[in-house]
A and B are shown apart, each in its own frame.
Chain A
Amino acid sequence: MPTVSMTVNGKTVRRDVDPRTLLVNFLRNDLRLTGTHVGCDTSQCGACVVHADGRAIKSCTSLALSCDGMAVTTIEGLATGADLHPMQEAFRQHHGLQCGYCTPGMIMTAIDLVARKGHHLDEHTIREELEGNICRCTGYHNIVKAVAAGAEAMKAPAEVPAMAAE
């Protein structure tokens, strides 16, 4: 079996893998990082989004071997100790999740969106950019609010405006 090595959430990992192993299964089964989810088999739902070398990718559609040498960040790697990433905090503050299954992928997509489009995201942009992420629970309403607030908060990682400010 070939060997794959990468940096996952800041730690170097090295494993022998079946060459057909998908990145998502490598993360979930080999590294037991089960925060990254699988919601489909056609690369449509975005439950599996992680960052590879700083860019959002669908880990269900990438082979572990194709990420050899990359730096991968998963939902588990966002918080610094007890301090949540501002986007995580924004999802909580704005009730941007219900069952939580789509949430890791949503948050990873949202952070990537901020990296690409900046901190002032209008509603239209956010809705368009969430094209590859399906949520069955929330009707997206509060996700959109959370992403906008999280984007702002990432600029000045202090306080996310509270729900009541609506």
Chain B
Amino acid sequence: MSATGIGAPVLRREDKRYITGKGQYVDDVNRYGQAHAFFLRSPHAHARILSIDTAEAEAEPGVVAVYTGQHLADDKVGGLICGWMIHSKDGSPMKAGPHPALAQGKVRYVGDHVAVVIADTYSEAKDAAEKIVVDYEVLDAVVDTAGARTAGGEPVHEVAPDNTVFEFHLGNREPTEAAFARAAHVTKIDLVNNRLIPNAMEPRAAVGDWDAGTDTFTLYTTSQNPHVARLVLSAFIGIAPEHKLRVIAPDVGGGFGSKIFIYAEETVCVWAAKKVGRPVKWCAERTEAFLSDAHGRDHVTHAELATDAGGRVIGLKVHTVANLGAYLSTFSSSVPTYLYAPLLSGQYDIPAIYVEVDAVYSNTAPVDAYRGAGRPEATFVIERLMEVAARELGKDPAEFRRQNFVTSFPHQTPVIMCYDVGDYAASLDKALATVDYVGFPARRAESERRGMLRGLGFSAYIEACGIAPSAAVGSLGAGVGLWESAEVRVNPVGTVEVLTGSHSHGQGHETTFAQLVSDRLGIPIDNVSIVHGDTDKVQMGMGTYGSRSGAVGMSAIVKALDKIETKARKVAGHVLEAAEGDIEFKDGKFTVKGTDKSIDFASVALQAYVAHKFNGQELEPGLKEGAFYDPTNFTFPSGVHICEVEIDPDTGVTRIERWVAVDDFGVLINPMIVEGQVHGGIAQGVGQALFEGTVYDSSGQLLTASYMDYQMPRAYDFPRFSVETTETRCPSNPLGIKGCGEAGAIAAPPAVINAITDALGHEDIAMPATPRAVWRAIRRTPQKMAAE
């Protein structure tokens, strides 16, 4: 391994600009003459708009324009779309209601966009918005996930009279029922997967610009996938054809899914730029982020696990109600369906599975992918069930899991996925050793001597990443293919620019992608630059989410590098006057086999461009190649996380005492970055389990719309994490990568709750397990009460 090659913990090249304050985030972009947008948002969860009077606002100082949904309709601006078609079990298509960027006739959640004020300054826009008079007829709000279908009253969308978006199912009902009929034991559980608000630290922002001379638009936006944004804004919303619309996602301050989607605000900014003839800038305040960023999770689930007399799992039945909020966000329909149900088999060999998912509308913010997207929900179901089943059967939870692990590969589950490779026992063994499992009873006894409760919980998760083979997702309803593109441009001096369709918003692609290129071409890493996030530079790409940038994005680079090497060999052959087949390429040098005749990569690059040594007809000048890589399978990262907690029964405060993560991500490009991804994922997962609760009251007001009310994980909430890996190489991509970005967030919640329930001695606790919730749960525990 070279110091900067694959597998080396190379320090990040992008850090320099961030630690010196020289990052360029969207809010740092200022265009000459720009005006500022403020969005007037609905104060009601559900209301008809009877009238909007903007006259007074328009007369306010500094105001350039005020627009409502009527202006969008007049301009034939299309609504926001959901790009994944799900069919119900009766074959009917999902019921997608209209989603205009500014409300037309009705508002459907608190924070919904009613009007935009554009003014010389942001303060002027905000002040003027107070002068807009909106006459609302307030309607009853649908808020409760489980009750949405029977809420009565006016439905959220006319197309869905009982607020049902679709009734999805997967797996095999009859064999599953048969398995339950012959089961020796059935474990039943009811779970709520709490709604989360993503909270990337950089709020969403947009700057729309229009060039009158060329009639072209430019949108700077906080996006994880600028090309998808351009595609949607062009082909569906109709802002401008793609060749007249440039989308730039510069430095982006975290996404976690929330910046995948195409939102109202950026649509309006870019559209309005032409209308007012000035650049239009908007940057969310944090409260706006709470109100209108797509939220995550929000499932209510009943699940049952059937085991035979020997303790083998023989069947799994799951029924979930998934709340999609007021509108179908860009990929919302895929999250509780194909990103959820296929993962319910976990790491286990379960012969019969049947899953039903009813998706509902409600008068709450739209729900879409948030770090893990469907897979944390699935993992929470199966890992809570496994833990509870082990307890009910009187088995050690680790050994009960081991007994049911998939051990031979490939393994076809009853729910679509074909696991290609893994060694689940290896991760479990390493995790047990690292956490000192055998020492746990002594630690628990020691805690009890101090009057504290101690518990230990497991989570053996699997996820499907490397999203995704285009044909497969196409057959499941995706509106796009999920390949990735790369272009490798070698300059005449031998430096290299790599243009990628992946997007980095904290993942460190400028380092890891460059490691790959430096390793492969044998050139210094400083001679490689990674270009992303600009549709005028990178031709097309699908962006970053679903832990796909390594497995899919880097594989595209490998494919382009293969072509570069092929071409470079030809050039070297001409220069060295040898047959192409006699040229060897190693450590940045082309050598004629068995001789000392050689030429380095930079010289080949120069020769490719001066083109003096070959005939331009048989070999084209230049050294630049592109590739599209379409994966052949999902990748299946897996691992075991163990959480050990201590609870103070007097206060209900849960402290995490130990956290052990042993993950199998396949080949690691940069272990330092991988570890960082795991840390961040765990923190978000622990946030879900212990702190983060989204609360809407019964009228649909969001009560947790600031950091005063929504508890973000802080530094003092965590111990040091022990993060280790095992490795089975992924067979479906050239680098053997599986992906690591979401693992922590997927693994963590059940590990925490399994630890807390272990400490409590009963299963009756929901997420977030706040001190108050835990304190109350302790008082529901007869034996603990007696012990106190």
Contact = CB atoms under 8 A, between A and B. Distances in A.
B588 to A, nearest CB: 26
B286 A39 contact: yes
Contact of A138 (B16, B27, B200, B680): B680
Contacts of A34: 21, 24-25, 27-28
Interface in B183-207: 199-203
B211 interface: no
Of A28, A75, A76, A163, the most chain B CB neighbours within 10 A belong to A75
B1 interface: no
B251 interface: yes
A32 to B, nearest CB: 8
A135 B12 CA distance: 18
Contacts of A35: 20-23
Nearest to A25: B122
B715 A140 contact: yes
B123 A74 contact: no
A130 B25 CA distance: 24
A97 B15 contact: yes
A37 B25 contact: yes
A84 B676 contact: no
Contacts of A91: 15, 19
Interface stretch (A51-59, A62-70, A98-106): A98-106
A72 B672 CA distance: 35
Nearest to A145: B720
A88 B17 CA distance: 11
Task: Sort chain B's interface into a size bin.
Answer: 35 or more
B196 to A, nearest CB: 12
Contacts of A135: 201, 715
A42 B21 contact: no
Given A100-B251, A163-B672, A47 B11 contact: no
Interface string B672-709: 11011101111110000000000000000000001110
B53 interface: no
Contact of B20 (A32, A79, A93, A99): A79
Contacts of A137: 201, 254, 506, 676, 680
Contact of B201 (A126, A127, A130, A134): A134
Interface residues of A, number: 59
B706 A40 contact: yes
A157 to B, nearest CB: 16
Contact of B715 (A36, A37, A44, A126): A126
A74 B21 CA distance: 8
Q: Is the interface of B mostly helix, strand, loop or mixed?
A: loop
A107 B19 contact: yes
B775 interface: no
Main secondary structure of the interface of A (DSSP, over half): loop
Given A101-B202, A136-B200, A92 B254 contact: no
B18 A42 contact: no
A114 interface: no
A35 B251 CA distance: 12
Nearest to B670: A95
Interface in B704-732: 706-708, 712-716, 718, 720-721
Interface string B276-312: 0000000101110000000000000000000000000
Nearest to B714: A131
Contacts of A88: 19-20
A120 interface: no
A99 B252 contact: yes
Given A41-B285, A98-B254, A134-B201, A141 B721 contact: yes
B403 interface: no
B714 to A, nearest CB: 6
B283 to A, nearest CB: 8
A161 interface: no
A92 B15 CA distance: 6
B513 interface: no
Nearest to B673: A95
Contacts of B718: 127, 139-141
Interface string B17-45: 11111111101101000000000000000
B476 to A, nearest CB: 31
Contacts of B652: none
A104 B371 CA distance: 24
A154 interface: no
Given A99-B202, A104-B21, A131-B714, A136 B15 contact: no
B505 interface: yes
A116 interface: no
**Residue of B12, B252, B716 with highest tally of chain A CB at under 10 A:** B716
A131 B20 contact: no
Contacts of A93: 11
A45 B23 contact: no
Contact of A99 (B123, B254, B715): B254
A142 interface: yes
A123 interface: yes
A152 to B, nearest CB: 18
A28 B708 CA distance: 25
Contacts of B673: 95
Closest 8 CB pairs of A and B: A35-B21, A100-B18, A101-B253, A99-B506, A139-B683, A139-B679, A75-B21, A98-B506
Interface of A: 18, 20, 28-29, 32-42, 44-45, 47, 74-76, 78-79, 84, 88-89, 91-93, 95, 97-104, 107, 123, 126-128, 130-131, 133-144, 163-164
Given A99-B251, A128-B715, A134-B712, 11 more contacts: A37-B27, A37-B201, A41-B285, A42-B708, A44-B708, A97-B18, A98-B507, A127-B714, A131-B716, A135-B201, A163-B672
21 contacts: A42-B706, A42-B707, A47-B201, A75-B20, A75-B21, A78-B20, A91-B19, A92-B16, A97-B18, A98-B680, A99-B506, A100-B17, A101-B202, A104-B19, A123-B720, A127-B716, A130-B714, A136-B680, A139-B682, A139-B713, A163-B11
